[in-house]
Structure 1
Amino acid sequence: MEPHNTTDDLDTLVLRGALRWQSAGLAVVLVTVARTWGSSPRPPGSLMAINTRGETVGSVSGGCIEDDLVQRIREGGVQAACASNVPAVLRYGISADQAHRFGLPCGGTVELVLEPVTARSRLAELLQACEQRQGTERVLDLQTGEVTLREGQRDSLPRLDEQQLITCFGPKARLILIGAGDLSRYMSQIALTVGFEVIVCDPREEQRASWHLSGMTSGVTLSHEMPDDLVLRLKPDARTAVVALTHDPKLDDLALIDALQSQAFYVGAIGSRRNSSQRRERMREHFDLPDAALDSLHGPAGLYIGSKTPAEIALSIMAEVVAAKNGVLLPKVSAEEPQAALPVAQGKRQHEDLPHAG
């Protein structure tokens, strides 16, 4: 397995690995899950790269199909997977015997596109576009292996026909955290692990001076700008989440207002239910923010998991952020403490008095 930078998302890891091997003179095959039927271990759009030494990065099935592909390429080279050095379409799991052999769930079928990586694959340009936060469609000609790049949306599913495979790429998920403290430290660690780029913003010098991530030297930017200035400068896109963590209206409110009027897929703030209600009233009264924008504010941020420590609170907020990123609709009351879930001894405890809800 190819070593990698853990702050990159999986697509970026695969593309970087394939480009690095190809630049070093190794023959490489880029494998894309184009379509699936029934139960499938990996969704359409999943990527994997394999070189002729049998090294891999990424996954298309969780291990079973990978072993077969690696064996083919190690024994027969790229030609064994891609005859005439052009892309090939391969199916696994059509028959019950294949499903059993490759460990696919009952009835599962996976259709893969295998592509020999060359200069015409345009991986460097694709990676550059992603780094510049540009949504890009990659159009692969199945007859020639030529690639065209054009503007597109990352979250679209792959499209495959007899002539071409169209896959969609874009910027990695980005998390803007307002406040440099214990909670932002734990949230940063979790966010990096699941492939987010992280920006921690705090204009208070005394807070920034003691903020660090042990063992993590990349993937996090620490900013001393005023939070609202940072949000206006970065213009949060549909791959960006903004979470306010300071409890200080002077730092949180203006940044939240700007974020709520951006394309950010998630905007949230910590605090009790009482504080969250007061924040909404403040925004409505002083900033004339429309109800639709206020309704999209996650406050209290996070899912209720009985969290008490900063690490547990960070986990609850990141769970909600990831759910929003993945398009999972959660009930509006998800951050409230459900009475049925409380131990009897805590049954009378009022949720709005908690220091953090979620």
Structure 2
Amino acid sequence: MQSSDQEVLQRASDWLQQGYAAHLFTVIQTWGSAPRLPGAILVVREDGHLVGSVSGGCIEDDLADKARHQALPEQAAIMEYGVNQAEAQRFGIPCGGQIKIFCEPLSHAAQLVPMLQSLAQRRLLKRSVNLQSGEVQHQYVLPEGQPYLEDDWFHSYFGPQWRLLIIGANQLGSILAAMAQALDFHVMICDPREEMRAEWHVEGADWLPGMPDDVVLEIRPDLHTAIVAVTHDPKLDDMALLEALKSQAFYIGALGAAKNQEKRKQRLRSFDLSEQEVNRLHGPVGLRIGSRTPAEIAVSILAELIQQRAQVQQAGLAQTVSSQTGKTRNVA
């Protein structure tokens, strides 16, 4: 399953190959209640057709109208919306919201090839564009955070910023793997049972061979990694959790009823885990929405992942803004 960025850029590539010109828009920074996060992208064709979103509202309509009237910048530029109350009301931006957007003209499909390759290969690409010369540089990196301005350069990212390791290739694991990819997670699966591997047919998810605890150590979970154990077999789930709870993973969850979770925590306490580490476990996994079927449980898990990921994103954005005050890497 393609990520949302991949779908936007592939559609834009099709347009460019058909001879159309277009503009790529990337959210640099938002203030207040702006509806999209930094990094959100939109492509507007010269005749006003568009794919993607930077606001979910009237800003897209305004950019499409500018495209139809050849009123968009002819070189890389920064655009701002919602700088005053009248403009915010005009473009339907929530109270106090402001959006700063990077605008870049597109004329050839080759301009999009590196981003599409990074998305297809599930590698994180840092794309840097010089506002004065139009020079573009590409570099594969580890997760660094939000898009930002640095002197005359705009840096943005394409590829998986977030990873999800699923322990268990059962029906729930399959549904969870498929759904998570639509939410821009790089999905990895671990299940040492040969019969489960033989029946695994979810495209786009990486199968990691080995025992769960070894696999957790191998992927080196960071603040952009979530780990969910769904085998319902303590011999497998607990192995993964023992290593996961000592890692930097932003979310760690395990399937099982509340009574079983308490038993699991008691088992974990018998190993070299602190009480703080044990209490990081989300169990029963997922938000309480009355889910029963595998698909419903997958929705509840992803809902909690979205909730936790948003908290990490907001904390990271606040840290970025704070750390760059008075420095050349200026996001304001």
Q: Report matched runs for 1:165-184 at 5 Å.
A: 165-184=154-173
RMSD in angstroms over aligned alpha carbons?
A: 3.4
Query: Structure 1 residues 185, 157: closer, same or farther in 2, change over 3 A?
Result: closer
Work out the CA distance in 2 between the residues paired with 1:289 and 1:167.
38
Cα distance in structure 1, aligned partners of 2:125 and 2:194? 39
The answer to whether residue 200 in structure 2 is matched with residue 200 in structure 1 is no
Superposition deviation, residue 48 in structure 1: 0.9
Q: Which moved more, 1:241-250 or 1:254-263?
A: 254-263
Corresponding residue to 1:11 among 1, 5, 12:
5
Paired residue secondary structure (1:298): coil
Q: Deviations over 1:70-104 (max 9, x none)?
A: 2322342xxx3123xx2122233345554344333
User: Which runs of no fewer than 5 residues in structure 2 stay unpaired?
Assistant: 314-332
Identity %: 45
Q: Contact (CA 8 Å) 1:120, 1:145: kept in 2 or not?
A: no
Structure 1 residue 59 displacement after superposition: 0.4
Structure 1 residues 235 and 154: alpha-carbon distance in aligned structure 2, compared to 1, 3 A threshold: closer
Paired residue secondary structure (2:221)? coil
The 1:132/1:41 distance shift into structure 2, 3 A limit, reads: same
| Matching of residue 306 in structure 1 with residue 300 in structure 2 | no
Q: Whose radius of gyration is greater, 1 or 2? A: 1
- Residue identity in the other structure for 2:236: L
Q: What is the alpha-carbon distance in structure 2 between the residues aligned to residue 233 and residue 137 of structure 1?
A: 24
Provide the secondary structure at the position in 2 that maps to 1:238: coil
CA 1:200–1:134 in structure 2 vs 1: closer, same or farther (change >3 Å)? closer
Count, aligned residues: 313
C-alpha spacing 1:232/1:159, structure 2 compared with 1 (3 Å) = closer
8 Å contact from structure 1 (residues 202, 227) kept in 2: yes
- 2: distance between equivalents of 1:283 and 1:159? 41
Of 32, 37, 41, the residue aligned with 2:35 is: 41
Name the CA distance, whole Å, in 1 between partners of 2:123 and 2:177: 23
Equivalent position amino acid for 1:246 in 2: T
Aligned-residue offset at 1:187? 2.1
Query: Following TM superposition, by how much is the alpha carbon of 1:114 offset from its aligned partner in structure 2, in angstroms?
Result: 0.9
**1:65·1:102 contact (CA, 8 Å) conserved in 2?**
yes
Q: Is the 8 A contact 1:30 1:48 kept in 2?
A: yes
CA shift, 1:249, in A, is 2.3
Structure 2 length-normalised TM: 0.77
Q: 1:73 aligns to what SS in structure 2? A: helix
Q: Distance in 1 between matches of 2:141 and 2:276?
A: 27
When normalised by structure 1's length, the TM-score is 0.73
Residues of 2 paired with 1:140 and 1:193: CA distance? 28
Give the 3 Å change call, closer, same or farther, for CA 208–150 of structure 1 in structure 2: closer
Q: 2-side partners of 1:135 and 1:211: how far apart?
A: 26
Match of residue 73 from structure 1? 67
Partner of 1:345: none
Q: Say whether the 8 Å CA contact 1:121–1:146 is kept in structure 2.
A: no
